[in-house]
Structure 1
Amino acid sequence: MSTDPSTSKNKSMRIVAIILTRDESIHIERCIRSLPEVISEILVVDCGSNDDTVTKASRLGAKVIFHKWTNYASQFNWALTQLNDDTDWVLRIDADEYLTLTLANEIKTYFCKLECNDVNGIFFSRRMTFQGQLIRYGGIFPVRVLRLFRFGCGECENRWMDEHIKVIGPTIEFNGELIDDNLNSLTWWVDKHNKYASREAVDLLNLEYGFMPHDSVANLRGGSQAGMKRWLKEVVYFRLPGGFRALVYFFYRYFVRCGFLDGTVGSTFHFLQGFWYRYLVDAKVAEVRRYIKKNGCGIQEAIVKVLNIKV
C-alpha cells in the first residue's frame, strides 16, 4: 500500500474521496458536488440505506460498494483496503459535510502543481452548523482535522467514537474550511447522539478496564490540535468525577468561551452537546459499572448487556 513520493513527479495525482453512508439522501448530492475536479474517484461505502442515497451517488458518478457496519473506524479502514494500488491520496469526507469553494480550489491548485512530494497529510479547518446556524463561539470551532493523506501512510484510529486519521510523516495545513451541516431534525440529532454516547462510553471504559488495544492520537508535543484535545480528554477530563466533569466542561464552553453569544439556537447546541451528551456518557459508564458489581460479570459482558455493543 505504501507509495514512493518520487514516483508521483511525472504523473497526475490519483485522489480518491471516501464517503461512508446510510440514508444520506438529503446530503449526498451536496457533498459530492462540492468536491474539486482533481478528485479521480468517489468511493461511497454504504451499509444498507433505505432511501435513494445509492441511486443519487451512482448518478453523480460515484462508485458504490456495500459493507456491514460495525463502527466508523472499521468501516473506513476496510474502505482503504478496497482502493486500487495506483491510488496516491485519500480524502475522508462525511456525507453531511461539504468543502467550501476556497478549500476545493486550494486542493485543486495544490495537486495540479504537484507540490506534495514531501508531505503525507493535510489538515483542514472544520466548522459545524446546528439547525442551520453556524456555531462561532464556545472555543470548539473551527477544529483542525486531518482529512487528506497519502495512500498507505494513514488510517483511522481504532476507536468506537471521535476517531481521527493517523498519518506517518510530515503534514501541512490548508486555510480553507470543511463545513459539517446536517439537515436532519433535532429528534434525529438526539437519537444519534444517544448512540454516540454508548460508543463513547465504551472508549472511556476501555481507559479504565483495558479490554481493547488503546489506539489514540493523544500527544502534547506533536503540535496537533486533535492530539492535544485527546490528551486533555484522556489524562485530565477522564480523571474528574463523572457527571461533575460534564458540568465543568459546559461552564467552560458556555461562559468562559462565550458560547452564549451564539444565541438561542447556539445555546441549545452548547447545552445538548456540551452538557447533556457528556452527562449521558457518564451515566452510561456508571450504569455499566453498576451492572458489573451487581452481576459479578466481566466488562465485555456488561457492555453487551447494558449498551448493546459487542466489543
Structure 2
Amino acid sequence: MSNKGKIAVGIHVVILTLNESVHIARCIESCKDQVESITVIDSGSTDGTVEIAEKLGAEVVRHPWVNYATQLNFGISTLVAKGGWLLRIDADEVLHPAAPCRLSEAVSQAGGDCDGILVQRRIYFLGRRIKYGAIEPSWQLRLWRNGQGRCEQRWMDEHVIVNGNVQKSDIIISDINLNSLTWWSTKHNQYASREAIDLLNARFAFLKADKLPASGASPQARARRFLKEKFYLRTPAGVRTIAYFLYRYVIRLGFLDGRPGFYFHLLQGLWYRSLVDAKIFEIEELAKKKGISIASAIKDRTGFVVDES
C-alpha cells in the first residue's frame, strides 16, 4: 500500500467482489493509505475487476459464491494469519475522507476487552444522501480484531459478531453505488429471495441460524432484528408493508430526503418488503400444492439450494 499519510499497520481490508469494475478502484483508493493490506475475494468477475484490484496493489483470491456469509467467512479465514485488525468494506462503498476519526485512531482507542468497532454507514441514492426515514444513524460492526470475529450464517441481513465487547467510533463508510436503477432493482430482487429464505426459516427452522449475542454485536442490529422477528413478522403481510413505509416516510420524516428520498423509501421500504412477502407466499403455496418441503419449494422458485441437514 501507499506510504502517503499514516498507515495503520496491522489493519487489513477484505472486499468481496463480482464484476465491480465501476467501483473497485474508488473503494481501494479510499482506504489504501490507512491500512497495511487489502485482499479482494472474487467470485468470478469477467469485467476487469481482478486486474484493476491487482494493479492497485490488492491481493486477489478467487472463491466460488454460495452466499455473503460463507464468502466473508472464507475471507476471514484466509486473513487470520495476518493478525491485527480486519476491516470489511463493500466494493461500492468508500471510507469517508472527511471522517473525524482515522482507522489507526479507532484501533488505538479500543480497550483491552474491545474486539469490535462500530462505524457509521451512510447511504446515497440517486445522488443524494438519505438521512431520514430511520436510515441514520446506522451503526455497523465493520472493524474487528483478527481471529475474534466471524459473520453469522444467514442468507440476508448478516452481521459480524465478535467474542468480546464492541464500541462506537467516528469512522464513516459511505455506500455510493454508481450503477443504474435497473441494476439496483435487479439486485434487490435477488435480496428479496435471500430474505424470504431467512424469514421462512424463522418460522419453519429448516436451517441452523445464528443469533446475535448480547455483546459482541451491534446493539442497533440486535434491536432491529428483535423488532422484525417479534412484531413485524407477526403482523399480516399486506398491513405490515404499508405500515412500515408510512412509519419511515411520515413518522420518521423520510419526506425530508426530497425526491430521491421518496423513490428510495418507496422502493426499499414498500416495494422491496412487499416483494419479500410475495415470494414467501409463492413458496408456501407451491409447497402446499405439490406436497413438497419448504426447502424444495425455495429451490424451485428461487434457484437457491438450502441445506436441510
TM-score for the superposition, normalised by structure 1 = 0.91
What secondary structure sits across from 1:199 in the alignment? helix
Q: CA offset at residue 218 of structure 1?
A: 7.0
Cross-structure match for 1:241: 236
Q: C-alpha offsets along residues 1-38 of structure 1, whole Å, 9 cap, x if unaligned?
A: xxxxxxxxxxx852210000011111111111111534
Cross-structure match for 1:3: none
The reply to whether residue 294 of structure 1 matches residue 289 of structure 2 is: yes
Structure 1 Cα separation of the partners of residues 21 and 81 of structure 2: 30
Q: Which residue, out of 60, 67, 74, partners 1:64? A: 60
Q: CA offset at residue 244 of structure 1?
A: 1.7
Contact 1:18–1:93, Cα closer than 8 Å, also in 2:
yes
What secondary structure sits across from 1:85 in the alignment? helix
Query: Unpaired segments of 5 or more residues in structure 1?
Result: 1-11
The reply to whether residue 167 of structure 1 matches residue 187 of structure 2 is: no
Structure 1 Cα separation of the partners of residues 9 and 113 of structure 2: 14
Q: Which residue, out of 68, 76, 95, partners 1:80? A: 76
When the two structures are aligned, how many residues end up with a matched partner? 299
| Distance change >3 Å, CA 218–CA 206, structure 1 → 2 | farther
Structure 2 Cα separation of the partners of residues 16 and 59 of structure 1: 18
Tell me which amino acid in the other structure corresponds to 2:154: R
| Distance change >3 Å, CA 115–CA 268, structure 1 → 2 | closer
What secondary structure sits across from 1:136 in the alignment? coil
Cross-structure match for 2:246: 251
| Distance change >3 Å, CA 254–CA 110, structure 1 → 2 | closer
Structure 1 Cα separation of the partners of residues 106 and 266 of structure 2: 39
Percent identical: 46
The reply to whether residue 33 of structure 1 matches residue 47 of structure 2 is: no
Q: C-alpha offsets along residues 218-268 of structure 1, whole Å, 9 cap, x if unaligned?
A: 769x87111100111111111111132111100100110111111111100
Contact 1:17–1:39, Cα closer than 8 Å, also in 2:
yes
Structure 1 Cα separation of the partners of residues 218 and 77 of structure 2: 29
Root-mean-square deviation over aligned CA pairs: 2.0
Structure 2 Cα separation of the partners of residues 292 and 219 of structure 1: 36
What secondary structure sits across from 2:305 in the alignment? coil
Q: CA offset at residue 168 of structure 1?
A: 1.3
| Distance change >3 Å, CA 53–CA 232, structure 1 → 2 | same
What secondary structure sits across from 1:213 in the alignment? coil
Cross-structure match for 2:195: 200
Contact 1:123–1:173, Cα closer than 8 Å, also in 2:
yes
Q: C-alpha offsets along residues 153-197 of structure 1, whole Å, 9 cap, x if unaligned?
A: 111110001111111112111123110010100000000000000
Structure 1 Cα separation of the partners of residues 169 and 105 of structure 2: 11
Contact 2:93–2:174, Cα closer than 8 Å, also in 1:
yes
Tell me which amino acid in the other structure corresponds to 2:95: L
| Distance change >3 Å, CA 248–CA 199, structure 1 → 2 | same
> After the TM superposition, which of the residue ranges 90-99 and 167-176 deviates more from structure 2?
167-176
Tell me which amino acid in the other structure corresponds to 1:83: L
**Aligned positions of 1:1-311 closer than 5 A:** 13-35=9-31, 37-103=33-99, 105-111=101-107, 113=108, 117-217=112-212, 224-311=219-306
Structure 2 Cα separation of the partners of residues 258 and 114 of structure 1: 35
What secondary structure sits across from 1:108 in the alignment? helix
Structure 2 Cα separation of the partners of residues 273 and 197 of structure 1: 11
Contact 1:155–1:167, Cα closer than 8 Å, also in 2:
yes
Contact 1:13–1:114, Cα closer than 8 Å, also in 2:
no
TM-score for the superposition, normalised by structure 2 = 0.92
Structure 2 Cα separation of the partners of residues 228 and 114 of structure 1: 26
Q: CA offset at residue 108 of structure 1?
A: 2.5
| Distance change >3 Å, CA 251–CA 82, structure 1 → 2 | same
What secondary structure sits across from 2:284 in the alignment? helix
